[in-house]
Structure 1
């Protein structure tokens, strides 16, 4: 038996190496802009399954250090004050006002087949959004978001999945915020003139 034949026979009896998968890339390219209205300055607004219900007008804000729940979602989920736990740190609203939270609640949030528990701070303040999902949720999901590409990407089961946006909802929320601000300014002017 030659040496080369021996090496071939021995290597065929050795276990095969497991192929390492291609590492998941959570990034964006110009291809990811397809289907979006460009150019734009829209917020990233999606639909998420929160507390067992599909909820629209969810703003993804990686600048937020907390998940914030606004009155529409609180009422829509039929939550009661007894469902809340204490949360005493004040927050600053979109309008720049100090807001004292009503409390905090932990709910399940589902993306695809992945479900995570999320602590929402419940506030009684105007917002055109039902909730704001911030860095804690993004980090728990291992997700990255892009307002430019209007997507959230996250790893799940060895693949990269996407949560798609609703630019029309983002624009409707912007209009609602502007209308609310105008109404508040008119109301304040009226009160000052009385």
Structure 2
């Protein structure tokens, strides 16, 4: 019952505020940097449960719009061409080359008790990573990442859970990627006939 401007029933705005405040606040602090080598500009490399297996060497890339699976993971999961659905759009690799996908596969990714179905674009290209997880997975999980703190944080069961990156592996892969690029490109002096 309502009298003038006062009501005995909760205002719609109040009930919305209650729902919003029930979601835990995700933040990063100086304490989250403990265990990392600072300063750095390392990528965020994690281990994730994909298709029922713990998969190492997964790059978390909020700048990417699609999840990508590389040959090592494709073979490791014993996937076959008939497991893939067609995917016609080409992708651009880190080197700026056009890559034609072999297809797409939908697999479950588990973090704690959360399971999210993810569409992976399967490519046959060199990468030191087994997979790249991107904005679709981050958004579905409600996750926030910080490469500075080497963590992904996400809400789960009223708490903030975290996935910790492997900074040592990130540094190792950077060296591997540079070595691979240098060995696959002709040297400048060879091109100039020197």
Report SS of the residue matched to 1:39. Answer: coil
**1:119 is matched with which residue?**
119
**2:85 is matched with which residue?**
85
Report SS of the residue matched to 1:181. Answer: helix
RMSD: 2.3
1:104 corresponds to 2:104: yes
C-alpha deviation, 1:190, in angstroms: 7.9
Q: Any stretches of 5+ residues in structure 2 without a counterpart? A: 1-17
Q: How does 1:37-186 map to 2 (within 5 A)?
A: 37-186=37-186
* CA–CA distance in structure 2, aligned partners of residues 120 and 151 of structure 1: 22
* CA–CA distance in structure 1, aligned partners of residues 182 and 140 of structure 2: 37
Q: TM-score, normalised by structure 2?
A: 0.84
- For residues 189 and 78 of structure 1, do their structure 2 counterparts lie closer, same or farther at Cα, with a shift above 3 Å needed? farther
Q: Where do 4+ consecutive residues of structure 1 move more than 2 Å?
A: 20-23, 186-193
Give CA deviations for 1:26-59 in whole Å, capped at 9, x if unaligned. 1111111111111111000000000111010100
**2:8 is matched with which residue?**
none
Does the CA contact (< 8 Å) of 2:104 and 2:121 recur in 1? yes
Q: TM-score, normalised by structure 1?
A: 0.84
- Number of positions where the alignment pairs a residue of Structure 1 with one of Structure 2: 175
Q: Any stretches of 5+ residues in structure 1 without a counterpart? A: 1-17
Does the CA contact (< 8 Å) of 2:22 and 2:158 recur in 1? no
C-alpha deviation, 1:172, in angstroms: 1.4
Rg (Cα) greater in structure: 1
Does the CA contact (< 8 Å) of 1:94 and 1:127 recur in 2? no
